[in-house]
Structure 1
Amino acid sequence: MPKQRLPTGKLLTLAFHKPYDVLPCFTDPEGRPTLADFIHVPGVYAAGRLDKDSEGLMLLTADGGLAHRITDPTEKLPKVYLAQVERIPDEAALESLRRGVWLGDKRTRPAQVRLLPQAPSLPERPVPIRYRKNVPTSWLELTLREGMNRQVRRMTAAAGYPTLRLIRVAIGPITLDGLQAGQWRMLSPEEVAAIRQPATSPA
């Protein structure tokens, strides 16, 4: 990505489109791809995680208060995911995901979940998912307001529909729009202010 002139004296916040197979951190003793391969901005840190085998939006910031707003589940900031799953969930399965499913000894919060009528327009993943000839796939859009470890994958698996590909497309008001995999952009003061706005409850 072309070098950008960075503002000085400000707490910077970036939106980054994390590619598949990239760790959500800046260092790795095993030498695997990390954020440092794409982002050369001093002082910013990932506000939240996105698993190595997942793709999509991450926010990085030098503002500790903003990072808390993004990551603390009590803030209820919505995060939107697209999940390609094995088979086609019926309405009962979708409703169970909406109500919340048990993951170990904890039940997930109510979520917004819908079955997409067709596959979203997305670039191919560098490592294609493993297709099984006799097993169809479908796409779900899920909006969560918490951040349990590998939550979307665990939720769909618990409902009987394992996730094959997972992309986070929005965090609060910030979306992936205009960012290709591996690209980042600086958030404007207005966008940062919008993240700080209190979250509204899901319908």
Structure 2
Amino acid sequence: MARLVLFNKPFRVLSQFTDSSGRSTLADYIAIPGVYPAGRLDWDSEGLLLLTDDGALQARISQPTFHLPKTYLVQVEGIPDAAQLQQLRDGVQLNDGLTRPAEVALIPPPALWPRDPPVRERKSVPDSWLRLTITEGRNRQVRRMTAAIGCPTLRLVRWQIGDWHLGDAYSGDEKLLPGMHREISVHLPRPSRASAGRRPDPRRGRPPSRSRRGR
């Protein structure tokens, strides 16, 4: 069994345990020995970060070859029209190539925690929220995608990776709040002869234990 930690990373916290510049890191919130981030989440982004003590699980979560879907709640400047949303669904041309097709929809403002500091809003420019799912992990990809269609990102919250998520984005129930983490166990079965050549599914695991605050 592999240990997996679901952590709601606050705004302006690094996805690492040390920093020579004195910025806030995972060590300020997580005191579980032997776990390491599976992938990363930018310093100025919020939301779900997974940590594990198992190298195989870490690879299956973080390596782009597995195309594990990642879902973001994105506040953008402006209100994208149907053509702009279709650009995201078809793939956006960035300076490092065309993105894979994304799933995207305009959504009502989700019931999120307040950000500190709050997002700077311009009274003359409306904003809107998107639910955006991608299967890649390029550097600052979501921000670059929304900028490419003319709707810069104001706030970015990663809500879900594969089957793991922070809770119900539209209610206050069972929500993993910023700075909190939840630990679960994940079973990585060895492939049988019948399933040889198929990737094992790292998302099988027992139900999560109660949320608890990091230190």
TM range (shorter): 0.7 to 0.9
User: Are 1:139 and 2:129 counterparts?
Assistant: yes
Q: Equivalent of 1:73, from 57, 64, 68? A: 64
Asked whether 1:179 is paired with 2:170, we answer no
Q: Tell me the CA shift for residue 166 of structure 1.
A: 0.3
- TM superposition shift of 1:105: 3.5
Is the 8 Å Cα contact of residues 85 and 162 (structure 1) preserved in structure 2? yes
Alignment of 1:18-167 (within 5 A): 18-116=9-107, 118-167=108-157
Structure 2 CA distance for partners of 1:130 and 1:60, relative to 1, 3 Å:
same
Greater per-residue helix proportion: 1
The question of whether the paired residues in 1 share the 8 Å contact of 2:3 and 2:186 is answered with no
Point out 4+ residue stretches in structure 1 off by more than 4 angstroms: 192-195
TM-score, structure 2 as length reference:
0.83
What letter matches 1:162 in structure 2?
P
Distance in 1, matches of 2:67 and 2:21, equals 35
The alpha carbon displacement at 1:12 in A equals: 1.8
Distance between the aligned counterparts of 1:96 and 1:18, measured in 2?
29
Distance in 2 (alpha carbons) for counterparts of 1:11 and 1:72: 17
* Unpaired stretches in structure 2, ≥5 consecutive residues: 168-174, 190-199, 205-215
Counterpart CA distance in 2 for 1:105 and 1:16 is 30
Aligned-residue offset at 1:74:
1.3
In 2, Cα distance between equivalents of 1:195 and 1:34: 30
Percent identity, aligned pairs only, is 56
Question: In the TM superposition, what whole-angstrom CA distance separates every residue of 1:115-167 from its partner, at most 9, and x where no partner exists?
Answer: 11x20111110111111110000000001101000000000001100000000
The amino acid of 1:82's aligned partner reads L
- The alpha carbon displacement at 1:72 in A equals 1.2
Q: Determine the structure 2 residue equivalent to 1:196.
A: 202
Give the superposition deviation at 1:102.
Answer: 1.1
Q: Report the TM-score, using the length of structure 1 for normalisation.
A: 0.88
2: CA distance, partners of 1:187 / 1:161: 37
1:184 is paired with a residue whose SS is: strand
Q: 2-side partners of 1:102 and 1:162: how far apart?
A: 15
Residue aligning to 2:7:
16
SS in 2 for 1:15: strand
Partner Cα separation in structure 1 for residue 102 and residue 2 of structure 2: 32
Structure 2 Cα separation of the partners of residues 155 and 33 of structure 1: 27
| Contact 1:173 1:195 (C-alpha < 8 Å) held by counterparts | no
SS at match of 1:180: coil
Match of 2:58, SS state, is: helix
Q: How far apart, in 1, do the equivalents of 2:201 and 2:28 lie?
A: 26
Tell me, what secondary structure is at the counterpart of 2:124? coil
